[in-house]
Structure 1
Amino acid sequence: MRKLRARSLSVSEARQMLRGHELDSATIDEVIEDFGRRGYLDDAALAEVLVTSGVERKGQGRVALSRALAQRGIPREVIDLALDELPDDDDERALEFARSKARSLARLDHDTALRRLMGQLSRRGYNGSTAMKAAKTALQEATFGRGTSGVRFVDSD
């Protein structure tokens, strides 16, 4: 109960925590079933909260969200249902994140800025094509109106 007060647990995490207290499997199953009936353990509700948090606070894409839920021991079918509830706006979220980072990378040469921004987007779980499109668009917007280098050639005639 103390663990549940500190942080919501998946059924898998609760089972693992109870094993650490050297309980037999029948007792563990009873506790898990009781906690499920009381609403203390609900993988679907936990997945929904984690997906919402990952999208709103961390700007994560589907890949990162799926990985995070799987690491918490949430079953694949529950993960798929939670991700199906997401609007199909990975492209928009990736572009929004890329825009927020592109301004700080605009001082770098284009290839370096693109590589770094792609890495940041990939770590947040955006697939390669989504990350590339968002990074290119954001960098183009950040550098629009200024030359690609600081070098100017002046005619001295």
Structure 2
Amino acid sequence: MYKPRRAGKAKETERKQPLPLPEVGAVVTGIEAHPKKPHMYRISLKLDPHPEMEADERSKEASTAEPETSDWNDEVDALIAGAQSAKEADETLITVHEDTLVSLRLLKGRRLSVEEVAALVQDEQKEEAYRSALLMLERKARTTAELSQALRRKGYAPEAVSACLERLRAQRMLDDEAFARRYTEQRATGQRKGRMLIRQELLQRGVERQDIDRAIDGLDGEVERESALALARKRWPNTKGNDRERKMKLMGLLMRRGFPSNIVKWAAQQAAEETGEDDSDEGFGDDVLHDSEYMED
């Protein structure tokens, strides 16, 4: 008995994978000012499937073209004023900066080579990466490594990311050494953290060791002592156990917050003495700094 084949169930072997798009030149079919991005322009390109004919066509155009007049300057002025606009159904849009618009003389009808189209695509991605980086830096400060990772997660090519970071460094909008100094000061005073924990956090953020060293060396020792003492005073009343146990727990906390051992011992002793509950320093030495039994908050 004949059974009709089910529609839409073609064999897997019959399916052909789409071929990659060939590298082609293009013709500028329209230009318009970007409605949301200042100094940016959207270029409408119609891909040329026969780039090998480009030289012949250019020679024909050159033989029939009239001498160039000052209309170029007038048209550039009009473009920068946002006056030109054109669209077609089969166009590809590329966004470029006005500097690129002028330097490449991107007028309607301008024929672009394969290399020029590729350069425009790269410039577009570099500009998009740069603008994305500016938005991220407006929200919060970032290190070079953090910004690089964020841009890569957004899908930008390594070349675009590198160009963006270099541009930001040249504009002094990305400076890991300055970031490390601000971070160290803020964490020491605002969050009561010691230099060792701050160093670890900066390393995790991708800051170079030499930048970290300079930031840590610039940390005021008195500020660090006051931060440790303020934290010890806050935690001492709620720490349970006898005096020695309370001191050891408090020292464990201060050690985890990154304070040096000499500041840890001083701050814990000072907090205990201020309450009038400390009777003796017996057993209150370096050994407690390594006693894991009391390394809990």
Fold shared by both chains (TM-score > 0.5): yes
Aligned residue type for 1:35: L
Is residue 20 from structure 1 mapped to residue 153 from structure 2 by the alignment?
A: yes
Is residue 125 from structure 1 mapped to residue 227 from structure 2 by the alignment?
A: no
> For 1:41, what is the secondary structure of its paired residue?
coil
Residue in 2 that maps onto 1:85: 218
Tell me the distance in 2 between the aligned counterparts of 1:75 and 1:117: 32
> For 2:221, what is the secondary structure of its paired residue?
coil
Alignment equivalent of 2:184, drawn from 51, 54, 60: 51
Q: Which has the higher strand share?
A: 2
Larger Rg: 2
Alignment equivalent of 1:95, drawn from 225, 229, 248: 229
Aligned residue type for 2:214: L
Aligned residue type for 1:93: S
Please list, as runs of the form range in 1=range in 2, the aligned pairs for 1:62-73 lying within 5 A after superposition.
62-73=195-206
Residue in 2 that maps onto 1:35: 168
**Per-residue deviation at 1:147?**
7.5
User: Higher mean Cα deviation, 87-96 or 66-75?
Assistant: 87-96
The two structures, once aligned, show a CA RMSD in angstroms of 2.2
- The 8 Å contact of residues 189 and 227 in structure 2, kept in 1 or not, is answered as no
Higher relative contact order (CA 8 A, sep 6+): 1
Gaps of 5+ in 1: 149-157
**Per-residue deviation at 1:20?**
1.5
Q: Which has the higher helix share?
A: 1
**Per-residue deviation at 1:28?**
1.3
User: Higher mean Cα deviation, 41-50 or 107-116?
Assistant: 107-116
Aligned residue type for 1:26: E
TM-score by length of 2: 0.45
Aligned residue type for 1:23: Y
Gaps of 5+ in 2: 1-133, 281-297
Taking structure 1 as reference, are residues 101 and 34 closer, same or farther at Cα in structure 2, changes over 3 Å only? same
Tell me the distance in 2 between the aligned counterparts of 1:23 and 1:81: 32
Aligned residue type for 1:101: R
**Per-residue deviation at 1:139?**
1.2
